[in-house]
């Protein structure tokens, strides 16, 4: 039987909704796990460890580092890893780990739930059983298991606040579908040897979401001497206002003069940013803006933070950002 390490990091799956509000309690959650889902022991030999215990809104790069290092420390002793995590920022953590854990040879499967495990009609049980089972398959990827689907972690995004079908990977087919049988995709990454763990992320990054009528003068307060990357969530294929009072091109000039990398993502979840398609994208590209292509916001942000952490010079950063490091584009 495969040896799987189950890492607890918090989230709704572990909350208790009695006494008026969600409370995180790691001890009672572990007890619940062993009492309520005894069949997990028929799927794998499970060992559990609490890494941290947070609502995922409070998870940041220091937690990503801790998690990556915990996996690295236990890597030789287990066949796979399951991580229980809040859904709100799960796709950020999975994206971050997909970059921090290069040359992965074993599954790292994240899951959580929309309803706490302690509730009668919870999705926790199904998600957890599926995640543990999938962690015994040859899937050497950081992935999200939710509602009978397995998605590549750095292609995933949270789509729904209340529905059990909370995640999707808009520009990439699921890695697996769980029905009567488990169907694996042809596009699972190849198993690699010699894991490399590089969990250093820098946080000198700012995300700016465009809307019609965004006043460029409001952007004057941004401290471009300390921001290294500005992610611009633009319209459609990567477009922005370039006329009149709302023209953003002088702001892009200012970013370039301060040595800030500008990365253009889209407010549309499906398909790819293509800066050559319209004149505003072309103008941005002429000013050095990079395209996030089909990447999710989560992958774009964490990849930029990861590349900053590796300390690349300007050209190396651009080359690495435009390449696919872990199947994210
Ligand atoms: N706020 C929770 C979290 O992300 C939501 C969830 O787990 O579904 O930790």
Domains of the chain: 3-197 (3.40.50.1170), 205-322 (3.40.50.40)
Burial 211-220 (b: 16+ CB within 10 A, else e): eeeeeeeebe
Percent of the chain with pLDDT over 70: 95
Segments of 74-216 assigned E as strands: 80-84, 101-102, 108-111, 142-146, 149-152, 157-158, 167-168, 176-178, 182-184, 196-197, 205-209
Residue 55 CA to ligand 1 center (angstroms) comes to 6
pLDDT band at 264, cuts 50/70/90?
very high
Please name every residue paired with 184 in a beta bridge, in sequence order, or none if there are none: 176
Q: Which residue has the higher pLDDT, 17 or 266?
A: 266
56 lines ligand 1 (CB under 6 A): yes
d(CA 251, CA 135): 47
Reported as a single tens digit per residue, the pLDDT across 101-145 is 999 999 999 999 998 887 888 899 999 999 999 999 999 999 999
Residue 25 has pLDDT above 70, yes or no: no
Q: Has 12 been annotated as catalytic?
A: yes
Model confidence at 19: pLDDT above 70: no
Q: What is the pLDDT of residues 53-88, one digit of tens each?
A: 999 999 999 999 999 999 999 999 999 999 999 999
State the DSSP string of 165-194.
--EE-TTS--SEEESSSEEEPTTPPPP-SS
| Res. 21 pLDDT band, cuts 50 70 90 | low
How far apart, in whole angstroms, are the C-alpha atoms of residue 110 and residue 97?
11
Calculate the average pLDDT of the chain.
94
CA of 315 to the centre of ligand 1 (A): 38
Strands of the sheet containing 290-291, edge to edge, are 205-209, 229-234, 261-266, 290-291
| Closest residue to atom 8 of ligand 1, CA basis | 87
Judge whether residue 23 has pLDDT over 60. no
Mutate to test the pocket of ligand 1, among 86, 118, 164 (most ligand atoms within 8 A of CB): 86
Per-residue confidence band for 38, with pLDDT thresholds at 50, 70 and 90: confident
Mean pLDDT over 191-199 rounds to 96
Nearest Cα to Cα of residue 15 among 53, 50, 47: 53
Q: Is 88 in the pocket of ligand 1 (CB under 6 A)?
A: yes
Q: Are strands 108-111 and 80-84 parallel, antiparallel or unpaired?
A: parallel
- The pLDDT > 90 percentage for the chain reads 87
Across 287-303, average pLDDT: 98
pLDDT of residue 206: 98
Q: What's the confidence (pLDDT) of residue 39?
A: 85
Ranges 5-14, 173-182, 286-295, 317-326: which has the least confidence: 5-14
pLDDT at position 18, please?
A: 59
Q: What is the pLDDT of residues 204-232, one digit of tens each?
A: 999 999 999 999 999 999 999 999 999 99
Instruction: Give the per-residue pLDDT at 116.
Output: 85
What is the 56 CA–ligand 1 centroid distance (Å)? Answer: 6
């Amino acid at each position: 039987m495969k040896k799987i390490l189950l890492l607890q990091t918090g989230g709704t799956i572990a909350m208790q909704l009695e006494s008026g509000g969600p409370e995180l309690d790691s001890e009672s959650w572990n007890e619940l796990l062993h009492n309520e889902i005894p069949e997990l022991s028929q799927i794998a030999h499970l060992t559990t460890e609490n890494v941290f215990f947070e609502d995922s809104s409070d998870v940041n790069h220091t937690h990503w580092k801790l998690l990556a290092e915990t996996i690295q420390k236990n890597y030789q002793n287990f066949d796979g890893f399951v991580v229980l995590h809040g859904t709100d920022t799960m796709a950020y953590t999975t994206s971050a780990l997909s970059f921090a854990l290069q040359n992965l040879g074993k599954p790292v499967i994240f899951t959580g739930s929309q309803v706490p495990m302690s509730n009668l009609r919870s999705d926790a049980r199904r998600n957890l059983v599926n995640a543990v089972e999938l962690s015994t398959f040859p899937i050497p990827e950081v992935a999200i298991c939710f509602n009978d689907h397995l998605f590549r972690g750095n292609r995933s995004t949270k789509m729904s606040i209340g529905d059990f079908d909370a995640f999707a990977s808009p520009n990439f087919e699921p890695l697996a579908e769980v029905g009567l049988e488990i169907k694996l995709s042809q596009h699972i990454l190849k198993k690699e040897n010699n894991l490399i763990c590089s969990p250093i992320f820098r946080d000198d990054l700012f995300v700016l979401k465009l809307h019609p009528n965004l006043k460029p003068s409001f952007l004057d307060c941004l401290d471009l001497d300390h921001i290294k990357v500005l992610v611009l969530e633009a319209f459609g294929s990567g477009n922005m206002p370039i006329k009149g009072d709302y023209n953003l091109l002088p702001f892009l000039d200012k970013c370039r003069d301060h040595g800030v990398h500008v990365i253009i993502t889209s407010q549309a979840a499906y398909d790819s940013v293509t800066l050559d398609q319209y004149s505003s994208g072309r103008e941005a590209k002429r000013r050095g803006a990079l395209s996030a292509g089909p990447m999710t916001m989560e992958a774009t942000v964490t990849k930029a933070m990861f590349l900053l952490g590796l300390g690349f010079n300007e050209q190396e950063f651009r080359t690495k950002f435009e390449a696919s490091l872990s199947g994210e584009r």
